[in-house]
Chains A and B, each alone.
Chain A
Amino acid sequence: MIMEFFWYVVLMGILAVYIVLDGYDFGAGIIHLFFAKTEKDKKAITNAIGPFWDANEVWLIAAGGVLFFAFPTLYASSFSGFYLPLMMILWLLIFRAIGLELRGQIHHPMWEVVWDKAFGIASLLLALFFGVALGNIVRGVNLGMVENGVSTQEAHFFFLPLWNPTFSPQADQLGIIDWFTLFLGVVSVIALMIHGANWIIYKTNSDLNPKLKEVVFRLNFVLLGLVIVSLLIWHNIEPLPFHNFFETPILWIFPILCFIGIFGLFRVKTFIHDGAGFLFSSLFLVGGFAATAASIFPDVLPSTNSVNPSLTIYNVAADDYGLSVGVYWFAIAIVLVIAYFIIQYKVFSGKMDNIGYGEH
């Protein structure tokens, strides 16, 4: 039992780091798409994420790896069940990466505009898709593909089409995109835009910064509104979203962090330290993600039918020997990873306007 919980915390921790790190990459991409007008603005943005984005994306790979080895049944079930959106996420990640990497290779306005758009649009869609993904987990899926009370697949397998004609999260035949998951997608886009803007403010002295502070300030009202609405519709989808919190009151820390983040951001125009905004948007993202995970715990993929049980961390895990032996190498690895991380952010500390990303 303890091993499952340990790896669950590791997995969620890695995902939370991923959301904060690649989140600012996506956000910066969306800001790039909508607000970067001059070559100087664009350079400032790509310089701010250039030396980091690749390492940031590795947290996603690490999460995939840990999921694979610690919870193989969940990995198998969810990756095949969410087949189409995952493949699209892959294609978008590819477009986004080549947009960043290839832009500087040829100096011609037509070449540059193509890769600018690829980078920006892929970032926007990725932010949307990751929100939709979270929505799918919270809402649950038809495990075992039950039809008329009978499973047509093994109890932990399923497959979701991209949408169903009603776009309803309560329909018998669910789809990836319905109004609930799409709503969370929009929340994700707004939240990551704020987060990305904060990163740019933190890491550059670009001319965009004053404008971005204004953008963060305004979007924060939108975000607050969306969060309140999402809380209202949440119990439509999940009847008892708070029971874990009442049972284990320490968990309230996550929603509280989330709201500290969002309220802190209203002071964005008066922060003395340029990194403060980034800190608050990170709190919002981590708090929001952890609160969501905590609300469905120990489920990791709820079942929407009464025939097959939800997938929990206990019925999808690998055996104890494997999980225990993993602790040893993981302990070594995580120390190394933290060391790399410190070195990387030390070398590229402070403002990065002149780093010259993409000019090698």
Chain B
Amino acid sequence: MGAELVKLVKFTGSFTKNYSSMEEMLFYDRIQFAFTITFHYLFPQLTMGLSLIIVYFKWKFLKTDDIQYNKATHFWMRIFALNFAMGVVTGIPMEFQFGTNWAKFSELTGGIIGQTLAMEGMFSFFLESSFLGMFLFGEKILGHKWHFVTGLLICLGSWASGFLIIATHSWMQNPVGYEILANGQFVLNNFGALFTNPWLWPSYLHNQAASMVTSSFVVSGIGAFYILSKRSESYGKLFLKTGIIFGLVSSIIVAVPTGDLLAKNVVKYQPVTFAAMEGIFHTEQKGAEIVLIGQPDVKDKKLDNKIAVPNVLSFLTYGSWDKAVQGLDQFEEERHPTNISGLYYAYHIMVGLGTVFIGLMAAAVFQLIRKKLFVTKWILWSLLFMLPFPYIANTTGWYTAELGRQPWLVYNLLRTSAGASPTVSSGNTLFTLLGFVGLYLLLGLLFLLLIGKIIKNGPETVKK
């Protein structure tokens, strides 16, 4: 025991020594970006989809004049407002961090990704923020019809924001319309190419559908909660019904066609990423199996405790049962994603959850059609407990994209290690990382407290 401990201390000691300050700097820069973006995206993934559901409620109110729909609108507006505020305050640091922590990357590629990011500010943030005040406080002044319109504009603004962010992201995954100058600077030579990037549309639709999944699960989960707790039951039923219909449609779209198209893009443009995602260490010439469960052992290049179905991956990828799928062994090691296990898990968790979502939503809609939904307890409980899982699926989906792109910032062209700020020391980044961790912990607690309060007060307390 004692000897083991000494060995361990020696091992970690040598590890720290070899761990150069450059790597440490990069490590904290990456952790800070990952932490702040992960936390940030918990909020927009709800507000993008929820804004559409709110607009739907308001539209139903305009059509039917049934006050329940307007109260539903206002109940979800409260939740939307809180999420939106969280999204805004945690979003501003994202725009700053390109420059603060990734200065070299910004300097080299700003002429290109700066375009789409600046467009996001000009086209979507102004739209959202100008009409948010009207949407939240203007119903009396505007009347119901214009209130509906402001809701629609908020929705449009947030979807435009997603589009421009994913255009930026797609350029990093699959750079187009650029040339590289002698000094290493990337310059744009085709503006239109940024928006016809084959990576863009599947990613965008996949992401927006996933945002709808989160919103649908939140709406139906809270609906299920009201029914199970036997309060605000008429609202509970409305939320549940609306949530599962949006939920079934969107969770199917996440898988087919968008997820499928996206995976085919990865096969085409980043085959090494695809191999790591699927956990294929060795190329199987007679067709690749699809791995359902298993733990990657990167050192020995194998999967432990594997459960897999033969030949299915080849079929899903190429439409042919026995076509070979390239394994990691086909690529030089320095091109492998840096965190193969993390990537593999992120992808498998996303896909696994996505499958469960389709099943649950389909069962719920089936029971709705049979008019038995509100008494099918197991579905109500499942929907309630499933509420956090779309957040996990969205997050792991993004981790798949981001870990999959490593070790590159701009795929195949600019290494992550070449992008960090040269003058910001690891100590300073750790200082701000700790600051963000503390601040976001506080924000998270406040958020949960206030969301709990809104749900507890319920839709019936809405004044209007």
Contact = CB atoms under 8 A, between A and B. Distances in A.
Interface in A36-82: 50-52, 54-55, 57-58, 60-62, 64-66, 68-70, 72-73, 75-81
A58 B125 contact: yes
Given A58-B125, A83-B100, A344 B110 contact: no
A157 B107 CA distance: 11
Contacts of A330: 122
Interface string B120-152: 111101110111111011100110000000000
Given A77-B107, A333-B122, A347-B138, 17 more contacts: A54-B88, A54-B132, A55-B126, A61-B92, A66-B118, A66-B121, A68-B98, A76-B99, A80-B424, A87-B96, A94-B90, A98-B446, A102-B85, A322-B111, A336-B126, A348-B133, A360-B81
B428 interface: yes
A98 B137 contact: no
Interface residues of B, number: 70
Given A51-B137, A58-B121, A158-B423, A68 B96 contact: no
A341 to B, nearest CB: 7
- What 9 pairs between A and B have smallest CB-CB spacing? A72-B110, A79-B99, A69-B114, A51-B133, A65-B118, A318-B111, A80-B103, A76-B107, A333-B122
26 contacts: A55-B130, A58-B129, A62-B125, A64-B96, A64-B99, A68-B110, A69-B117, A72-B111, A75-B98, A76-B106, A76-B107, A76-B421, A78-B99, A79-B99, A83-B424, A87-B100, A90-B92, A91-B439, A94-B89, A97-B85, A158-B423, A318-B110, A318-B187, A319-B185, A333-B123, A340-B126
Contacts of B78: 360
B88 A76 contact: no
Q: Is the interface of B mostly helix, strand, loop or mixed?
A: helix
Interface in B137-169: 137-138, 141-142
A80 to B, nearest CB: 4
B89 A98 contact: yes
A348 to B, nearest CB: 7
Contact of B122 (A60, A62, A94, A355): A62
B100 A61 contact: no
A69 B110 contact: yes
A20 B331 CA distance: 56
Contact of A98 (B81, B130, B443): B443
B388 interface: no
A353 interface: no
Q: How large is the interface on A (under 10, 10 to 19, 20 to 34, 35 or more residues)?
A: 35 or more
Contacts of B123: 329, 333, 336
A347 B141 contact: yes
B283 interface: no
A106 B457 CA distance: 12
A356 B141 CA distance: 12
Interface of A: 50-52, 54-55, 57-58, 60-62, 64-66, 68-70, 72-73, 75-81, 83-84, 86-87, 90-91, 93-94, 97-98, 101-102, 105-106, 145, 153-154, 157-159, 318-319, 321-322, 325-326, 329-330, 333-334, 336-337, 340-341, 343-344, 347-348, 355-357, 360
B191 interface: yes
A58 B120 CA distance: 11
A55 B114 contact: no
Contact of A341 (B107, B108, B130): B130
A222 to B, nearest CB: 32
Q: Is the interface of A mostly helix, strand, loop or mixed?
A: helix
A20 to B, nearest CB: 16
Contacts of B82: 101, 105
B12 interface: no
B452 to A, nearest CB: 11
Contacts of A94: 89-90, 92-93, 439, 443
B264 interface: no
B46 interface: no
Contacts of A348: 133-134, 138, 141
Contacts of B138: 51, 347-348
Nearest to B134: A347
Interface in B59-107: 74, 77-78, 81-82, 85, 88-90, 92-93, 95-96, 98-101, 103-104, 106-107
A157 B141 contact: no
B352 interface: no
Nearest to B118: A65
